[in-house]
Structure 1
Amino acid sequence: MNREMLDLTYYSAIAEDLQQHNPEAYEILDEEIHIILHKLKFIPQESRPVTQVIPLGASLPGDYLQELLLVAGAQHNEYAVALDDVELLIFIDETNSYLSTLPAQLQETFANCKAVKNNKIFIIQKANFAQDRKDYLQDIEILAEIIQSKYFIFGHEGEYWVKFDIG
């Protein structure tokens, strides 16, 4: 196992469970994660976007979400990043109830954010996003399509996430 895989706590636990209970699912997960990580090793950390995920309902488990973001190609930030430096804003809104109030919030709270200035705002609409470990791979695919759109297309756009255009 390569070094990147050793740092993935949740992947390791999920993979170990699948190896014991569902070897076929383990093979799929392992192969797909390795493909994603292999593509990402050619993108230096400083070239990866600073990404902020904002849940609009239930709070998300922070360390689990951070692992998903790292595997999907976001920049690893050991320290808090100023909101103005965020290059991608991702809102989690399963009910689509937030779309009507989002423009006002963007202007009030995020007006100086690089993501807003560069129209890099996305909304994930998948139920239970980043809350069910059985969806680990699918949640990474969703994030990878958003964060590293030049390198990953899994067909989730329009079904589980959309780009929000400021106009």
Structure 2
Amino acid sequence: MEKEREYQKLLQTLKVTDTPSFERLEEEIDIVYHKLKFISIESRPRVTLVSNIRELSQDFSALTQEALEIGGGIWQSITDIRHAEKIIVVQRDEQLYSDLPVVLQDDALAQSPAAVNNEIYVIQHEVLEDTSANGFLKQVEVFAEIVQSKYFIYGHQGQDWVQFDLR
């Protein structure tokens, strides 16, 4: 039996405790699924989400990982960051903008498809800290805008995330 996904658990809880939130979340996620159903899994980019750029660490909930996958990406472990096609770094302070160029000079990162193709993104930590149904939906929207930008525009760019231009 396949393990129960955290998103499904969230839906089940909302169905009992908050029917309007349940209906909205289910409807919005169904729209994302519908738009992405024509993109094969093999064609989806490998995405590494980095919680701390200084330590190259990855500390996220299973729900956040699912939000990235629902948004159209394939979760890439930090240990395989050199193969990532997109790298999303969480911004907790302004120091990130001086640390990021230094870290990206590491040979493995500099040669990664994400760095070569200028696919480095910065996401605000507040987006990932909200564990409510609305917070989860916002995570999916932000990840969809970054990972599948041809298909999704929710208006979060510039406020909740930005592209880090390497050039």
Q: Same fold, TM exceeding 0.5? A: yes
Contact 1:49/1:75 (8 A) holds in 2: yes
The equivalent residue for 2:150 is: 150
Q: Which of these residues, 5, 11, 16, is aligned with residue 12 of structure 2? A: 16
Give 1:131 shift: 5.7
TM-score (norm 1): 0.85
1:166 match: 166
The 1:24–1:30 alpha-carbon spacing in structure 2 relative to 1, beyond 3 Å, is same
Where 1:90 maps in the other structure, the secondary structure is strand
Equivalenced residues, count: 161
Per the alignment, do residues 127 and 62 of structure 1 end up closer, same or farther by CA in structure 2, a change over 3 Å counting? closer
Mapped partners of 1:8, 1:41: distance in 2: 21
- Shift in CA distance, 68/81, structure 1 to aligned 2, threshold 3 Å: same
SS in 2 for 1:101: helix
CA RMSD of aligned residues (A): 2.4
Report SS of the residue matched to 1:92: strand
Residue 128 of structure 1: how far off its partner (Å): 5.4
TM-score normalised by length of structure 2: 0.85
Query: How far, CA to CA, are the matches of 2:128 and 2:120 in structure 1?
Result: 17
Over 3 Å counting, the alpha-carbon distance change for 1:106 and 1:52 in structure 2 is same
Which residue of the partner structure matches residue 32 of structure 1?
28
Secondary structure in 1 aligned to 2:144? helix
Change in 2 beyond 3 A, CA 1:144/1:7: farther
1:129 paired residue number: 128
